[in-house]
Amino acid sequence: MSTFSTSTPRLTVLGAGPGDPELFTLKGVRVLGEADVVLYDALANNDLLGFVRPGAPQVFVGKRRGLRSYAQDEINALIVESARQYGHVVRLKGGDPFVFGRGREEMLFAEQHGLLTDYVPGISSAVAAAGSVGIPVTHRGSSEGFRVITATTATGGLSAAVTDAARSRTTTVILMGLSQLARIVDIFARHGQAQTPAAIIQNGTLPTARLVTGTVAELPARAAAAGLGAPAIIIIGEVARLATAEAAGPAVFSDLLSYAEVA
């Protein structure tokens, strides 16, 4: 029996959500069940692959220690090749694919090569991970807005958006920033925010979630003491005062800041 599909070659870019598989969308469940092949990332919870129909290939294309990493150009080419071979490619990506997920980039490449494309949103960790530990990105009297930035540029440097954020007093959510933490803290401190409340959340929404809070200046030492690692998000702003250890589950780092010290 041939492995080739008679389906029209097409791509659906699908958001896997912030980690907890129960936060996956109903539309996502249906789309995975319709897939002829699934290309999935490291940040997509593997439990979601249980929704893939039996016999449909599942190909890991993310970055994970000890496994081969795919360059973006390779992933783009694999999407097109897989669609031409199988039919419907579902590209399962952590969080929301349009929030620093290169989702539209992959869709544009696919469209340039004759594929039909579609997008299914996922809940972004930028909001959900914060909320899972009791931190709202906006809160009356504390924050009238928020910005979501990446700390790292495509070339591996520090994003200029960090400096822009440091000049603001709205909530800042920083993705992919843990490796740049010392530089981020230095920039925020130079803009008068060394004592601004802040938090780092690792594995937000999952049972393995861990939380560190403190002032901006205290974050590097506290993160190191807790042994935090990626994936994690950094939140800087008054709303970080609202973090609750109970909300993050049993694996929370217990050294939560007493904000009376800096109030």
Task: Kindly tell me if the per-residue pLDDT of 258 is higher than 80.
Answer: no
Q: In this predicted model, which residue has the larger pLDDT, 251 or 91?
A: 91
Q: Is 41 a catalytic residue?
A: yes
DSSP the chain: ------SPPEEEEEE-BSS-GGGS-HHHHHHHHH-SEEEE-TTS-GGGGGGSPTT--EEE-S--TTSPPPPHHHHHHHHHHHHHHHSEEEEEESB-TTTTS-HHHHHHHHHHTT-EEEEE----HHHHHHHHTT--SSBTTTBS-EEEEESB-TTSSB-THHHHHHT--SEEEEES-GGGHHHHHHHHHHTT-TTSEEEEEESTTSTT-EEEEEEGGGHHHHHHHHT--SSEEEEESGGGGG--HHHH-TT--S----GGGT-
Mean pLDDT of 228-236: 94
Query: Active-site residue among 41, 93, 96, 107?
Result: 41
Query: How confident is the model over 178-217, as pLDDT tens digits?
Result: 999 999 999 999 999 999 999 999 999 999 999 999 999 9
CATH topology assigned to domain 125-261 = 3.30.950
pLDDT in tens, 2-54: 344 557 899 999 999 999 999 999 999 999 999 999 999 999 999 999 999 99
Q: Annotated catalytic, 63? A: yes
Out of 3.30.420.40, 3.40.50.2020, 3.40.1010.10, 3.40.50.620, which CATH number does the structure's domain 10-120 have? 3.40.1010.10
Could you read off the pLDDT of 62-114 as tens digits, one per residue?
876 556 678 999 999 999 999 999 999 999 999 999 999 999 999 999 999 99
More confident residue, 260 or 137: 137
- pTM assigned to the model: 0.86
Q: Which residues contact 116 (CB under 8 A, 6 or more apart)?
A: 8, 9, 10, 11
Question: Active site residue: 1, 20, 27, 63, which one?
Answer: 63
The more confident residue out of 152 and 32 is: 32
Residue ranges of the domains in the chain?
Answer: 10-120, 125-261
Catalytic residue among 1, 73, 107, 176: 176
Res 221 pLDDT > 50:
yes
**Active-site residue, 27 included:** no
What's the alpha-carbon Rg for the chain, to the nearest Å?
A: 20
